[in-house]
Structure 1
Amino acid sequence: MEPLALLLAALAVILAIPVPKLLHTARFRTRSPWATMLLWQAIALAGGLSMVGAPIVYGLSPFGSNVPQALSTAVRLTLDEDYSAMAGLQVHPWHLFCLCLGLLLGGHLLLTLARTYARVLSARRRHRQLVDLLSTPAPHGDHGAETQIIEHDAPMAYCLPGRTNASSITVLSRGLLNTLSEPELAAVIAHEQTHLKQRHHLLTMAFEAWYRALPWLPTTRYGREAVLELTEMLADEGAMAEHSREDLLRSLALSSSEAGAPGAGSPEDTKPLGAGASSEITGARLQRLLVPARPLSRTAVTGLVSASLALLAVPTGLLLLR
């Protein structure tokens, strides 16, 4: 199985360094944000699976000709404490080292995800309590049923996701209400509610955890930045489906602080759900709003979706190869 381990290692390196650098600046990302988002998710999952799988497969290589058989043999010999049989299979220290390395890396990724999720939920719960204390519900039928207003002069809007869409809220400041016209304000609210409907906070939280687990890896840094930008583009599309592009642009220009994807940024951030990082209007996003990009053709979108599925299938198929 050593060639299989080398294939997985090569795939992990390709998905960790050159592919994210190319995709980070790819022009097609502004033409189809949802397809690009799907591709980034596939890169993250396939890269992580290859990174964890390569040392595990190499470590199991003396135990069998395929992963299921080798894993079964390794578990049986370990439980039986049959170390003489392991010596007969030519199990060397570096095999055990690689096996432990893969298991530790996989555990590190899972624990970081769980830790990030717990910290985000805790920060979000505390922030929800503050909002309940310091805000007042918007008048019934005005600005949406799940909208809270805080008495603050700075123009500000953000969304606070709950366990379900019904328990999520949109928070507006008094300064924003006094700054924007009704159509502009409606565009901002539609933008925030798109974040909630599409559950963007789950995506940003997953990539934040990925970055926290391996901050030195280019793919984690580029992936986090890309997802923050793409969720904003998707929220812009949601707003423009119901309101004019001009109203959305004016609302961004007149607001000194515009909300970002919920759950983005640092979980310890005292800002609304970490709305600081994704609230920046990137050049690609602004260009997309000013000069609408021509959508990708159906063939191109099909190609991106197929590439995403292939990325997920390759490492999974290699690991389950019999």
Structure 2
Amino acid sequence: MTVLALLLAALAVLLAVPVPKLLHNAHFRTRSPWAAMLLWQAIALAGGLSMVGAPIVLGLSPFGDNLPAAVSTAIRLTLQEDYVALAELEVHPWHIFALCLGLLLGGHLLLTLARTYVRVLSARRRHRQLVDLLSTPLQNGNEDTDTHVIEHDAPLAYCLPGRTNASSVTVLSRGLLETLSEAELAAVVAHEQTHLKQRHHLLTMAFEAWYRALPWLPTTRYGREAVLELTEMLADEGALAQHAPKDLLRAIALSGESSGPLGAKAAVTQPRGEWGVHPPAEPTLLSGARLRRLLVPQQPLGRSAVAGVVVLSVGLLAVPTGLLLG
């Protein structure tokens, strides 16, 4: 069990520092954003399991040769208050400390996720009330697209997800409608609708909670930034599947790059991650990799490369799970 704890700790360190730094600037992410997204999710889950599991395994090492048996023995002896048997197992203070550390860390991660979810739902509900009060439906003849217009001069476009796609809404400003052509506006709406259909807000919320729980870890910072970038790339792909690249590019250019993708600005003052919408991204997401792939379309990864990413992602999840349950 001690060796198992050391292996989990080594995996946690590996997934916390060097791996995220390498993946953050990996070139393949622009060729297949969904594959990079899958890998980031695997890193987050595997890293979390390893980080929480290592101290718990170390703390329970005197109770058995594997985690399930150790947990069963620890619970049984504790409920029976068999202190003689506990003493014979040579449970030392550092075992108790490690066990408490693992449980506290796991609880901290889960509570942060729950807290972030509650705050996002609350912010989303307030934001939707404001949208309903201050906007008017856009008469575009498309019953599948619930689009509202707010009377604001600045170019603005963002999506506000609901519990289902049917209750979600895309918000555009009057300034955006007056700035873009019909084709460019359709590309903007398709971009935002892709965010909603693929439920990108769930991904950004999960990684935001991960970052809030452990902001000092490189992997949480890199992961948060990567997911925001990758969701924008995926939304671009959704728009480009229906509209010409020049329309999407002109929409970005005419909306003003300094205000975020597609001219998105914060319509209300909210701390980052509490929008309850796909958050207006930082200006950096318009430059660099995302903008280059729009200007010069790249060939998607081949089947073998994609299969390799999938196998690697599954392997990352299987290693800590197998070590904990084996």
Q: Distance in 2 between matches of 1:225 and 1:268?
A: 16
- What SS does the aligned partner of 1:274 have? coil
Measured at CA, do residues 259 and 117 of structure 1 come closer, stay the same or move farther in structure 2, by a change above 3 Å?
A: farther
Q: What TM-score does the superposition give when structure 2 sets the normalisation length? A: 0.94
- Please tell me the residue identity of whatever aligns with 1:177: L
- What SS does the aligned partner of 1:275 have? coil
Q: Distance in 2 between matches of 1:10 and 1:216?
A: 18
- Please tell me the residue identity of whatever aligns with 1:251: A
Where does structure 1 lack aligned partners over 5 or more consecutive residues? none
Aligned to 1:10: 10
- Please tell me the residue identity of whatever aligns with 1:209: A
Once structures 1 and 2 are overlaid, which stretch shifts more, 207-216 or 132-141? 132-141
Structural mapping, 1:197-276, within 5 Å:
197-256=197-256, 257=259, 258=262, 266-268=272-274, 274-276=279-281
Partner residue of 1:306 out of 311, 320, 326 = 311
1:113 paired with 2:119, answer no
Residue 80 of structure 1, CA deviation: 1.2
Structural mapping, 1:183-198, within 5 Å:
183-198=183-198
Where does structure 1 differ by over 4 angstroms across 4 or more consecutive aligned residues? none
1:33 paired with 2:38, answer no
- Please tell me the residue identity of whatever aligns with 1:176: L
Aligned to 2:294: 289
Once structures 1 and 2 are overlaid, which stretch shifts more, 80-89 or 133-142? 133-142
- What SS does the aligned partner of 2:299 have? coil
Q: Distance in 1 between matches of 2:142 and 2:33?
A: 31
Q: Distance in 2 between matches of 1:200 and 1:228?
A: 9
Residue 82 of structure 1, CA deviation: 1.4
Root-mean-square deviation (Å): 2.0
Contact 1:159/1:259, CA 8 A, preserved across alignment? no
Contact 1:229/1:282, CA 8 A, preserved across alignment? no
Aligned to 2:52: 52
User: Residue deviations 1:92-150, cap 9 Å, x none?
Assistant: 01001100100000000000000000001111110100000100011151696400011
User: Residue deviations 1:33-72, cap 9 Å, x none?
Assistant: 0000000000000000000000000111000111111100
Q: How much identity, in percent, do the aligned residues show?
A: 76
